[in-house]
Amino acid sequence: MAVVLKADHIDKYFKKPVAFHVLKDICFDIKRGEFASIMGKSGSGKSTLLYILSTMDTDYTGALYFNNELVTGQSHEKLSGIRNRHIGFVFQFHYLLSEFSVLENVMLPAKKLGEKSYREIEYDAIEKLKMLHIDHLAKKRASQISGGEKQRVAIARALINNPSILMGDEPTGNLDSYNSENVFNIFKQLKEEQGLSLLVVTHDIDFAERTDRIIQLEDGRVVN
Amino acid sequence: MTRWKVLLEIARTHLFTRMKSTTTASLGVTFGIGAYITLVSFMTGLNRMLDDLILNQTPHIHLYNEIEPSEQQPVNLYLEPENAFHVVHSVKPRQSQKKIHNAYPILQYLKEDPAVKGATPQLRAQIFYLSGSIELGGNLTGIDIMEEVCLSNIRDYIIEGTPEALDNSESGILLGAGLARKMSLSTGDRIQVSTVKGAVFPLKIVGLYQSGIADIDNVQGFAGLKTVQRILGEPRNYITDINIKLLDIDKAPAMARQLKRLFGVKATDINEANAQFETGSDIRNLITYSVSVTLLIVAGFGIYNILNMLIYEKMKDIAILKATGFSGGDVQFIFISQAIIIGVAGGILGLLVGFMLSRLIDGIAFETEALPTITTYPINYNPWFYIIGLSFALLSTFIAGYLPADKARKIDPVKIIRGS
């Protein structure tokens, strides 16, 4: 199976407040259609690792490959382009632009990519919303919908450019069990129906155990 | 193409959802630009009016013969002292004529010079105005009135009668308003003038002249050139002064020096005659511009503040934009375009406000004896002020927007996302 994401001997240090070796020689890869979760105690460096894998954090040593292309050392412009095209991101706190409507929030990354016309983007966005059963919210302001709905809007936004991988930083951490279940099912469905790769940081053991693979982090090292 | 559209859309949404801050920032610019336009229009209008007051009454170059002592006293020619010097007591002015030698050929020469707008002959004479047994000392200037009308705004200062009336009359006089008041004379009356040598001539008052400067209006009269030549008993080529107007006033000093050398006459240029005047204009301009620039800088700080606040409020949005693939440059563009939108909107409104205030001032009554043609405050509607105003609005908002926008560009999304 094709490898989507490959981490090769990644090390990271925090310099402040005291010098600290956060990630130690991390090596693993994520294959196409794989649903992986990263687990670990707080402070084990799991979020830090995710942000490095997402290309947003560039302050590390080692090499990161995306679709077999070296990403490490690329310009910020180029990395923005990669994030826009290939990576969908879902955060613990939904992080929608509150002044825009739900539909506009979902459309934004596609408009930035600029590969399709406005109408096509709008159609795609509504399709994604339908898939997540929230198309009735399309015209609402992002600030006017509930937490579970916001998370689903964020997922729709992450999917709008049909990315190679969806990353989540505790995407269910802020949701009740009903909505967590809902989000998990959506992820599962995306993997099975569309062959999407997923990489999710979580400390919800029930959530992690149902994924294909758990990457266990302890004191900055992959232990399994 | 689409990239700019998305970014501008985001910028626009930010601006419209916080209308209050946007309006405040725009009004800051509006106030600055409006005040600049009003100030500069009014000040330069006043400057131009004062310039005209002096410039139109003063020739750019004035040619005449000065009565002065010879630069080389005869004794210098006679012996060159060695290791000695001589002292001449009570040096007297040189005996010379007041008239300009070969005045008409000089006039002809000047009129053919492409740099010269026009040259007019004048004959200045000391005379007495007679009123019964009272003699009032004064000046009578012989002029070619129609040429003067073309070259200066003497018409504006004729408060009764017309220049044509003087042109048509063999023995007419335009009498200074102060003189007329002193002697209780008005247009149509007759007045007798006496030359220094004692000859008496009757003249008919065809109009009154008021320059607004009392010292002139109390002594000055104008008559035709030929009339004055006849009164003085001098021939037709007797001319004491030549006034020259140039197309380019800045050439006056160089040309004055050249004419002085060429014709052996005294030539003063306008800068020499009105040196203090230029200084006044310069200082007024300086004040106008420093006040305007201060206002615009204050407006710029307002924009800087508001954008800075906006960026603090929008930290999360900036982080999310960056996480979803917008680059630092995109984010910077969003905030700079917001600043420029504020600048353009505020600037254009400012131009309108400035224009309306100028119109308002233009309508306020302003009457002064010195300027019979002025009835309201002068305003200079120079389109350049509007262009400069808008450019400055754009420049200052760009600078005010650049610094916060650069900060937004550098925001690390990981810090913001993990921080909360």
Q: What would the pLDDT profile of B11-45 be if each residue is shown by its tens digit?
A: 888 888 878 878 888 888 888 888 888 888 888 88
Number of A:B CB contacts under 8 A? 75
pLDDT at A5: 80
Query: Higher pLDDT residue, B370 or A66?
Result: A66
pLDDT value for A94: 63
Q: What is the pLDDT of residue B13?
A: 83
B200–A contact, CB cutoff 8 A: no
At a CB cut-off of 8 Å and minimum separation 6, what does A32 contact? Answer: A1, A2, A3, A4, A164, A195, A197
List Cβ neighbours of B181 (8 Å cut-off, separation of 6 or more).
Answer: none
Q: Report domain extents, chain B.
A: 2-55+277-419, 61-66+95-272
Mean pLDDT of B331-342: 87
Name which residue leads in pLDDT, A57 or B136.
B136
Residue-level pLDDT at B221: 92
Which has the minimum average pLDDT: A43-57, B280-294, B367-381, B393-407?
A: B367-381
Give the per-residue pLDDT at B82. 73
Q: Are strands A87-90 and B61-64 parallel, antiparallel or unpaired?
A: unpaired
d(CA B398, CA B340) in angstroms, rounded, equals 6
Mean of all residue pLDDT scores within chain B = 84
Which helix (H) or strand (E) element contains residue B119? strand B116-131
Task: Say which CATH superfamily domain A34-59+73-222 falls into.
Answer: P-loop containing nucleotide triphosphate hydrolases (3.40.50.300)
Amino acid type, B120: T
pLDDT at residue B405 in the model: 85
Cα(B117)–Cα(B151) distance, integer angstroms: 8
**How confident is the model over B138-147, as a mean pLDDT?**
90
Residues B158-190 have pLDDT tens digits of 888 888 888 888 889 999 999 999 888 888 889
pLDDT at B222: 92
Please tell me the distance from the alpha carbon of residue B58 to that of residue A135, in angstroms, as a whole number. Answer: 83
Structure tokens at B81: 């002292």
Mean per-residue pLDDT over chain A, rounded: 81
Mean pLDDT for A182-203 is 84
What is the gyration radius of the CA atoms in chain A, in angstroms? 17
Residue of B nearest to A157 (CA): B324
Q: Rounded to whole angstroms, how far apart are CA atoms B31 and A174?
A: 48
Domain ranges of chain A: 34-59+73-222
**Is B356 a residue whose pLDDT tops 90?**
yes
- Which residue from B2, B17, B328 is facing A76, i.e. has the nearest CB? B328
ipTM of the complex: 0.84
| Strand ranges (E), chain A | 3-14, 20-31, 35-39, 61-66, 69-70, 87-90, 165-169, 197-201, 213-218, 221-222
* Whole-number pLDDT of residue B128: 92
User: Would the pLDDT of B299 be above 90?
Assistant: no
Q: What is the mean pLDDT of residues A164-193?
A: 82
- The answer to whether the peptide bond before residue A17 is cis (omega within 30 degrees of 0) is yes
Check residue B9 and give its pLDDT.
82
Rounded to whole angstroms, the Cα distance separating A97 from A143 reads 8
Given pLDDT bands bounded at 50, 70 and 90, which one contains residue A1? low
Give me the pLDDT at residue B354, please.
92
Q: Between A93, A114, A161, which is nearest B2 by CB? A: A114
Using the predicted structure, report yes or no on whether residue B287 has a pLDDT greater than 90: no
| pLDDT value, residue B247 | 85
Q: Give chain A's contact residues with B (Cβ, < 8 Å).
A: 47, 51, 54, 56-57, 76-77, 80-85, 87, 89, 91, 93, 95-100, 108-109, 111-114, 157, 161, 169
Q: Which residue type, as a one-letter code, is found at position A86? A: H
Q: What confidence score (pLDDT) does residue B298 get?
A: 79
How many beta carbons lie within 10 A of that of residue B136, not counting itself?
A: 15
Chain A residue with Cα closest to B16: A99
- Contact between B325 and A109 using a beta-carbon 8 Å cutoff: yes
In A, minimum Cα distance to B15 occurs at: A99
Kindly report, residue by residue over B212-233, the tens digit of the pLDDT. Answer: 778 888 899 999 999 999 998 8
% chain B with pLDDT above 70: 95
pLDDT computed for residue B351 by the predictor: 92
Instruction: Tell me the longest C-alpha to C-alpha distance in chain A.
Output: 52
Cβ neighbours of A98 in B, within 8 Å: 317
Q: Indicate yes or no: CB of A89 within 8 angstroms of CB of B329.
A: no
Enumerate the residues of chain A whose CB falls inside 8 A of the CB of residue B327: 76-77, 80-81
N-to-C CA span, chain B? 35
A155 CB neighbours in chain B (<8 A) are none
pLDDT of residue B352: 94
Judged by CB atoms closer than 8 Å, whether chains meet at B326 and A80 is answered as: yes
Interval B380-399 mean pLDDT: 86
CA distance B412 to B401: 19
Cβ(B369)–Cβ(B210) below 8 Å = yes
Band the pLDDT of B369: cuts 50, 70, 90: low
In terms of average pLDDT, the best of B49-53, B324-328, B355-359 is B355-359
Q: What's the pLDDT score for residue A140?
A: 82
Amino acid making up residue B214: A
User: Does B335 score more than 60 pLDDT?
Assistant: yes
φ/ψ of A175, rounded to 5, equals: -115, 155
Distance from CA of A148 to the nearest CA of B (A): 18
Please give the C-alpha separations between residue A105 and each of A95, A98, A126, A132, B336, in angstroms, as whole numbers. Answer: 10, 9, 12, 15, 22
What is each CA distance from B161 to A1, A117, B145, B205, B415, in whole angstroms? 108, 78, 13, 9, 86
Report whether pLDDT(B108) > 60: yes
Q: Which two tokens stand for residue A138?
A: 């399309």
Question: So what's the pLDDT on residue B141?
Answer: 92
